[in-house]
Amino acid sequence: MKRIEHTVPMGWYQRKAHEEADYIFQNLLPKHGLKVREEQLRLCHEMLDTLWGNHIALCDAGVGIGKTYAYLAACILQEKYREKSRGISETSCRPAVISTSSIALQEAIMQEYIPFLSRILLEEKLIRIPLKAAVRKGKEHFVCDSRLEQRLLAIRGKRKNEEQRQALRALRTCYDMDQVHGLSGFDRRLVCVPRFCPRNCLGKETCRYHRYMERAKGAGIHFQICNHNYLLADASHRAKGYRPLLSDYRALVVDEAHKLPEAAGQMCGKTLCHDDILELCFLLEKEHQGIRAGRLKSMMKRLFQVIAANHTFEQGQRVAFRQTEECVSTIKEGAAFLFEMGRRCRGSVSKWIRDRLEEAGKLLCCFLFPDRKYILFLEQDPQRLPVFCTASREVPAYLQEMLWNQGVPAILTSGTLKAGAGFGRTRQMLGLSEKERKRKPKVEEYVAESPFEYKRNCMLYLPQDGKRLRHGSREEAAWIAEKVRQLTCATHGHTLVLFTSYSLMGSVYQILRKSLSFPLVEVWRHTQEEIMRFKKMNNAVLFAAGSCWEGVDFPGDRVSSLIIVRLPFAVPDPVWEAEKERYGNLREYIDAVAVPDMQKKLRQGFGRAIRTETDTCVVTILDHRAARGGRYYEDVLSALPPCEMAESIEDVGRFIGKRKNIDYYM
């Protein structure tokens, strides 16, 4: 690997940090069996300059770059040399924060990446003390021992799902509920650490949550690892003058940064679901208000049933609220009931329970008297009941004020920050566009292309015989089913079929389930269980939608054919309509928002195809708009890495035949 030349003028300590980065990536990591590429080292240098200069960096890092080692090394070296230049000891340094979207990535950073780096850097005497990290989560992720025992007592002798019962018992030895499988959402809410712990709690001395907090806030922590919601909750606490959730930090890394606007939307918005009401009823019963709890449960159950009857839902989609006479009158009645109950309970229940009754009433009132600040819509919970949702129109400004104006250097990284020609859409969503930034921390943009040999190992097939058929029609489902059948036969199974619609997925599955000779797996709600079942099969076909477009790994031959049924344009919904209002006409909106969002989603789906250097895969897009001469042909090609192009199904079969050995067909 050639030496990386740096163009940024550097002082002595900054230069030493860059020289040490060269040594770590060119000598140390390869010595311990890791393959290091020039792109990874260059990315580390760019990140180090960002932290040193108090800037913000948008880093689009392709699959296989190794961005986690790049930003960890940059944070370690910045701490070591910048603080040394100021005469600050290693034990007095402020930590860096790493914010992610997924628990799996948090666990990998905590259990694999940081311990490995700590060990090899200590062996080389590049650091003097071991690297320490703490995972920071909200109270709702941890079990309250007192509430757990109350819940176990309450279900004793009663009918209860055995898996859920065993999960509750497992919490006696595992206080982190994310580590226990099979817990129901209702049980999680009842046994988690409460928002306000009673001062006279008898279990305070032995409380596992308190001991965890003491360790997490202790001295010598180099990294605080949290999710995006916790990061934003900490920022909100600081803005309101409350006690921060995180220790003061010197640098921020936002991994899976494409998920940050969604998390900000959740923080700015509000929701009310049936489980919220059941939890309120349970809390009222605990405070000897059983009659009122029963009346609340009955009233609100009717409300949710009326709203469900007046709306049509598709899984995972937002639905505009319909102000029918029945819906409006039922919501008025429900809101009045909540306010009246809160008033009548004064003096007999805790203030925070009364506050929650009032908050629920106010949220329902939003649907009676809409506020331009919020976008109103409904979603569907796992029990097929509606969820009342409000989303803020001011997410970019919120992120700008909460995070980017605080003077902390930040690295935002993901494999899908860039769309088409640049980062314009990402900047706009994150509050980093030139128009929306009042203060101006310098924002850098870096692209580290994946080192995988896509041109050799990946074939892109855009069928020219695609038909423009009515979405959701029988003809469309039949045409897609026939194409899927041909492709799975050409690749001998080993196929992932990604849909943008659950109803279309169900229709195609029903057509093929008896005619394909390969095992078929369909993912609806129990995503992880079905994916694990698919991984245990040799040549199955997985039908998936929703969350399966990203965050799932199928390395090796498990997925050698990826079929994308439609280009993943966002389905028009209330949030889509609200954003469209900001643009002069539909064409401006499509160019500025719809196409870049589609390109990023397409890259996420495409990323399921090649997960390692040796993977080989055919990627097919059945949407006629993606074919040569189609409306979005150029947009598709600019979103994806250069690949060998197929002209026919026969090309697909020949490609697989050349790349796979005899075991693949057994």
Residues 483-500 have pLDDT tens digits of 999 999 999 999 999 999
Distance from C-alpha of 407 to C-alpha of 241, rounded to nearest angstrom = 17
Of 191, 232, 166, the closest CA to residue 404 belongs to 232
Q: Which two tokens stand for residue 360?
A: 């629920």
Can you give the pLDDT at residue 162? 85
Concatenate the DSSP letters of all residues of 437-450 into one string. Answer: -SS---EEEEEE--
Percent of the chain past pLDDT 70, that is, above it, reads: 96
- pLDDT tens readout for residues 22-81: 999 999 999 999 989 899 999 999 999 999 999 999 999 998 899 999 999 999 999 988
Distance from C-alpha of 313 to C-alpha of 321, rounded to nearest angstrom = 11
Average pLDDT over residues 325-344: 93
Q: C-alpha distances in angstroms, 622 versus 364, 500, 564, 632?
A: 42, 12, 6, 13
Q: What residues contact 462, with CB distance under 8 A and at least 6 apart?
A: 620, 621, 626, 627, 628, 630, 633, 636, 645
Can you give the pLDDT at residue 358? 94
- pLDDT tens readout for residues 150-168: 889 888 888 888 888 888 9
Average pLDDT over residues 230-238: 94
H or E stretch including 253? strand 251-255
Can you give the pLDDT at residue 478? 94
Q: Which two tokens stand for residue 429?
A: 């969503």
Read off the DSSP letter of residue 113.
I
Binning pLDDT at 50, 70 and 90, where does residue 227 land?
very high
Distance from C-alpha of 127 to C-alpha of 118, rounded to nearest angstrom = 8
Can you give the pLDDT at residue 561? 95
Task: Classify residue 557 as exposed, middle or buried by CB count within 10 Å of its CB (0-12, 13-18, 19+).
Answer: buried
Q: Does position 361 have pLDDT exceeding 90, yes or no? A: yes
Q: Calculate ∠ Cα 607-101-143, nearest 5°.
A: 135
Q: Which two tokens stand for residue 407?
A: 């003077």
Can you give the pLDDT at residue 139? 87
Torsion angle (degrees, nearest 10) of CA 396, 401, 407, 409: -30
- pLDDT tens readout for residues 130-150: 999 999 988 888 999 888 988
- pLDDT tens readout for residues 175-195: 889 888 888 888 888 899 987
Can you give the pLDDT at residue 530? 87
Can you give the pLDDT at residue 87? 56
Backbone angles phi, psi at 332, to 5 degrees: -55, -45
- pLDDT tens readout for residues 629-647: 999 999 999 999 999 999 8
Average per-residue pLDDT for the chain: 89
Can you give the pLDDT at residue 165? 86
Can you give the pLDDT at residue 112? 95
Altogether, the residues listed in the chain come to a count of 666
H or E stretch including 255? strand 251-255
Distance from C-alpha of 465 to C-alpha of 482, rounded to nearest angstrom = 12
- pLDDT tens readout for residues 374-406: 899 999 988 889 999 999 989 999 999 999 999
Distance from C-alpha of 492 to C-alpha of 367, rounded to nearest angstrom = 52
Pure H helices in 345-441: 351-366, 395-402, 424-430
**Contact (CB, 8 A) for 600 and 259:** no
Q: Does position 203 have pLDDT exceeding 60, yes or no? A: yes
Task: Classify residue 142 as exposed, middle or buried by CB count within 10 Å of its CB (0-12, 13-18, 19+).
Answer: buried
Can you give the pLDDT at residue 506? 93
- pLDDT tens readout for residues 506-559: 999 999 988 898 999 998 866 778 888 998 888 899 999 988 898 788 888 889
Q: Does position 2 have pLDDT exceeding 70, yes or no? A: no
Average pLDDT over residues 292-309: 93
Can you give the pLDDT at residue 637? 95
99 SS3 class: strand
Distance from C-alpha of 413 to C-alpha of 44, rounded to nearest angstrom = 12
Can you give the pLDDT at residue 90? 53
Q: Which residues pair with 253 in a beta bridge?
A: 98, 411
* Domains of the chain as residue ranges with CATH: 12-132+220-263+396-448 (3.40.50.300), 139-200 (no CATH), 274-384 (no CATH), 454-665 (3.40.50.300)
Strand 223-227 and strand 410-414: the pairing is: unpaired
Can you give the pLDDT at residue 71? 97
Pure H helices in 287-372: 290-309, 325-344, 351-366
Can you give the pLDDT at residue 10? 63
- pLDDT tens readout for residues 455-469: 999 999 999 988 788
Q: Which two tokens stand for residue 168?
A: 């509750």
Binning pLDDT at 50, 70 and 90, where does residue 88 land?
low
Between helix 67-85 and helix 12-23 the angle, nearest 10°, is 150
Q: Which two tokens stand for residue 350?
A: 């805790």
Q: What residues contact 11, with CB distance under 8 A and at least 6 apart?
A: 85
Q: Which two tokens stand for residue 319?
A: 């639905």
Q: Does position 89 have pLDDT exceeding 60, yes or no? A: no
Region for 316 from its dihedrals, namely left if φ exceeds 0, alpha if ψ lies in -120 to 50, beta otherwise: left
Can you give the pLDDT at residue 198? 75
Q: What residues contact 51, with CB distance under 8 A and at least 6 apart?
A: 74, 75, 78, 82, 251, 409, 411
Can you give the pLDDT at residue 552? 84
Q: Does position 99 have pLDDT exceeding 90, yes or no? A: yes
Can you give the pLDDT at residue 439? 57
Concatenate the DSSP letters of all residues of 550-588 into one string. Answer: SS---TTTT-SEEEE-S--PPPP-HHHHHHHTTSSSHHH
Q: Does position 84 have pLDDT exceeding 90, yes or no? A: no
Which parts of 79-188 are beta strand (E)?
96-100, 133-135
